Structure 1
């Protein structure tokens, strides 16, 4: 696995596709490694001529971990209540800067951006902060950070605060089991336990990042609303969301699409907060079509 030794941290990444292909950066979500991008999606994008770069955000996978104690459950509760929190060491703008530093390391000037969940927030922020680097934007099951739209279903809040503030099990099989069950809670009617187990097992075998999810969640909760910044986005933008998503409710996708002028939205009524196999082909095609708008 290649590691980019940047000035301020190490970032793990993976590259697939032709060297002369149009570069496309895939950014995953909260506490989730680059291996969570389904291989058939990566292969589908490569088959359409893209040079696909996947990245581990800081505090997850094989990228650098933050020193010091992790956010406490009390920190997360205060952040949800919009109260000041001392433990937040970075925000979406910092993760976007990490991605730009990786692009510089790879010699990539302009890129198609695809982000899922928190990765969508990072991709949005990168587009706002560095519009000259972005050819097109695709935000999947994400939100604008306005706190009114794309909220977490109330039933998930106690479980999230408890699970994200606790260390992961040391037993790999128990870690896999809990990982699958966690995804089952936020998955929709198309959730496939066998497919998800393969993905979770690959992540557990690759790296255990016990506090990445908690640090990422705190970064999300303490980041600014991106709505006004999104109104100035000129890159062709695609928004993808599932109506059965309980982690980032579909209003988050609608708010994103409304904020970006000329954006397009792809909605799946039976998709939760996951990338189900039966919808991946349609997503890949829509991402490619959106990228073609940049060429036009």
Structure 2
């Protein structure tokens, strides 16, 4: 457990050589760090000190405090501080990609590089507006807070992953159930999925500042992502100016086995280029 603020402790896990360059994995909203697949973590840990952690109100971390989403970016810096890491490669997925953009703006000296995927530019970025999530996904999210028993909640979460995965890669529905069962066992139950959705979202409209970023950035395009559909990746790369874009064919807003090889290949290549 790492204390990142008064009364706030986050569960943190490290793998790999403690003396190797650090890679900080920043997960999306309402998702424990255990959503990062072990296959991806272990591959990176062969060469790097890999860190994954639970955001507030997820997993084993502190729950029930009042905060803004931008505070979760400060928490990421607190994790690095707590582990004595001066600089890290930061990999952000979904909301984690938005938080990583805030780190690029406010703490560039703490980043060797950034990898962003399943995300879009912060609000106010130059260029055309980023497309919103798919209508059917928005309708599904509207049912998030409805009361359900544990069996129904598990089924809802598995269906959520199936929808996020998109329509290009077939995944056995049992894999999504198993993922949520692992997270529930780690967390001590099926925690509410709503705290990040209702947190203060102020201070995120800083997209116009992204053009000044000089840290090396890789943007991974997920062509089947219904939450951040194309051309979000291209718009994000354009807002940054210095970013490279790599596409993982068939990838949606999830991490099934079929995408882990090409995704990890892209991340490892970027990390090697950025040292």
TM-score of the two chains, using structure 1 as the length reference: 0.84
Matched, 1:31 2:25: no
Instruction: Select 1:248's aligned residue among 221, 228, 239.
Output: 228
Mark the CA change 1:277 to 1:7 in structure 2 (over 3 Å): closer, same or farther.
same
Matched, 1:227 2:207: yes
Distance 1:220 1:244 in 2: 29
Instruction: Answer whether contact 2:27 2:94 (CA < 8 A) is retained.
Output: yes
1:271-290 matches, cutoff 5 A: 271-290=251-270
Task: Give 1:131's aligned residue.
Answer: 108
Instruction: Select 1:190's aligned residue among 146, 162, 169.
Output: 169
Q: The residue matched to 1:6 in structure 2 has which SS? A: strand
- Displacement of 1:20 in angstroms is 1.0
Task: Give 2:244's aligned residue.
Answer: 264
Q: For structure 1, which segment, 136-145 or 175-184, has the greater mean C-alpha deviation from structure 2 after superposition?
A: 175-184
Instruction: Select 1:113's aligned residue among 72, 90, 111.
Output: 90
Instruction: Answer whether contact 2:237 2:244 (CA < 8 A) is retained.
Output: yes
Distance 2:76 2:267 in 1: 20
Q: The residue matched to 2:49 in structure 1 has which SS? A: strand
Aligned residues: 267
Distance 2:133 2:122 in 1: 12
Unaligned runs of 5+ in 1: 69-88
Q: The residue matched to 1:108 in structure 2 has which SS? A: coil
Q: For structure 1, which segment, 17-26 or 258-267, has the greater mean C-alpha deviation from structure 2 after superposition?
A: 258-267
Distance 1:67 1:110 in 2: 28
Instruction: Answer whether contact 1:145 1:223 (CA < 8 A) is retained.
Output: no
Q: For structure 1, which segment, 242-251 or 223-232, has the greater mean C-alpha deviation from structure 2 after superposition?
A: 223-232
Task: Give 2:154's aligned residue.
Answer: 176
- Displacement of 1:240 in angstroms is 1.1
Instruction: Select 1:6's aligned residue among 4, 13, 32.
Output: 4
Distance 2:264 2:50 in 1: 12
TM-score of the two chains, using structure 2 as the length reference: 0.90
Mark the CA change 1:220 to 1:242 in structure 2 (over 3 Å): closer, same or farther.
farther
- Displacement of 1:183 in angstroms is 0.8
- Displacement of 1:170 in angstroms is 4.5
Deviations 1:158-183 (A, max 9, x none): 321221x335x443x44332211111
Distance 2:137 2:183 in 1: 23
Distance 1:223 1:236 in 2: 23
Distance 2:197 2:235 in 1: 20
- Displacement of 1:209 in angstroms is 5.7
Unaligned runs of 5+ in 2: none
Mark the CA change 1:219 to 1:292 in structure 2 (over 3 Å): closer, same or farther.
farther
Task: Give 1:152's aligned residue.
Answer: 133
Matched, 1:98 2:78: no
Distance 1:166 1:65 in 2: 20
Instruction: Answer whether contact 1:190 1:270 (CA < 8 A) is retained.
Output: yes
Q: The residue matched to 2:56 in structure 1 has which SS? A: coil
